[in-house]
Structure 1
Amino acid sequence: MIREIKRHIRTVEDFPKPGISFKDITPLLDDGPALHQAIDALSSVVEHLHYDRVVCAEARGFVFGTALAYSMKKGLILARKPNKLPGRTISAEYDLEYGTDALEAHLDSIPPGTRVLVADDLLATGGTARAMCQLVENAGGVVAGAAFMIELGYLEGRKLLEPYEVVSLINYKTPDSP
């Protein structure tokens, strides 16, 4: 099953800049049966985490986070760029190669004690996922774990997410992994 899902992930060399080996999920999204299989597989590897809601970051994270929340009959928390949500928000900053960015979530989306699964399409350096963890904890929630369709293991983003349990369906252990 993982081999079939991986077959739908295209590697685009030198995108968005030279030296980057971009993992493109659009072929997976284009194929209904493959997408369904991928969401089912991701759902099965997070089932043991016992969570109430899923938090995901825009934009690609919304695709997998929403599908995962729907599949597991859980609530959904949107982590958005600053000033995109109308209610009272909490925020968390994270580092980029060239500066910082931030994510915000509605404060009332994460009642104290709520167990939240962090979900995204890809784990690279871990900054975005770590910011989502901080949003959850700043609101009084509990991070139940983190789930990713793809992990770029060679970037060691999972280290930034310690001590949380991290699961991924596909792990590229080296930049040139097939």
Structure 2
Amino acid sequence: MSDIDLAALVRTIPNYPHAGILFRDITTLLLNGPGFAQCIAQMAASITDLPDCVAAIEARGFIFGAALAQSMGIGLVLLRKQNKLPGRVVGINYALEYGIDRIEMHDDAVRAGQQVLLVDDLIATGGTALAAVELLRGAGAVVTQSVFAIDLPDLGGGARLRAAGVAVHAQMEFAGA
């Protein structure tokens, strides 16, 4: 595995999308082939027990989830926003700062007892990740591990996931919002 400083490949955009926010832009990491490959390899190496499948959160989570699932030789479950999947779905509503959102998956995407790894590009407040865990567990899946390229620990999402019984693995941490 290379020794690339992954955090140096993440661009920070101040005051986006609102004043006071430091947006961590992973597109610059994705532009660096060796850096992206190292990130995926590190994500895979951080997983303690091989899951049956990866569940990735729309949309940037799909990038990391697909690469990780392929590297581990397992399937990929897509967790999408409302009305984006064809066929029968199950979903869950969850609170945002200023409203309600919904995340869905196909109703046959996971089986009872299946070990599922949750993947996204970034964990911030944890609202979407916790909703994803609840959705997967509601379908009978066992979710005990999650992996992210970036953790923003000051926003508490990782702590909230750990409190829900989900180990959190992140390749980088950035202080602040």
String of CA shifts for 1:53-84, please: whole Å, max 9, x gaps.
Answer: 11111110100011110111111000011111
Amino acid aligned to 1:153: P
Q: TM-score, normalised by structure 1?
A: 0.93
Please identify, of 7-16 and 157-166, the stretch whose mean Cα deviation from structure 2 is larger: 157-166
Are the aligned partners of 1:146 and 1:165 in contact in 2 as well (CA < 8 Å)? yes
* Root-mean-square deviation over aligned CA pairs: 1.4
| Per-residue deviation, 1:110 | 0.4
Letter in 2 for 1:28: L
Which stretches of structure 1, 4 residues or more, deviate above 6 A after TM superposition? none
5+ residue gaps, structure 2, are none
Please name the residue that 1:135 is paired with.
135
The offset of 1:164, in angstroms, is 1.1
Stretches of structure 1 that go unaligned for 5 or more consecutive residues are none
Please name the residue that 1:25 is paired with: 26
Which amino acid is 2:17 matched to? P
Aligned residues: 174
- Aligned AA for 1:133? V
Q: CA–CA distance in 1 between the matches of 2:17 and 2:41?
A: 30
The partner residue of 2:169 within 167, 170, 176 is 167
Question: How far, CA to CA, are the matches of 1:77 and 1:147 in structure 2?
Answer: 15
Is the contact made by 1:49 and 1:144 (CA closer than 8 Å) also made in structure 2? no
Partner of 1:90: 90
Within 5 Å, which residues of 2 pair with 1:9-24?
9-24=10-25
**Is the 8 Å Cα contact of residues 115 and 141 (structure 2) preserved in structure 1?**
yes
Residue 3 of structure 1 and its aligned partner are, at CA, apart by: 5.6
TM-score (norm 2): 0.94
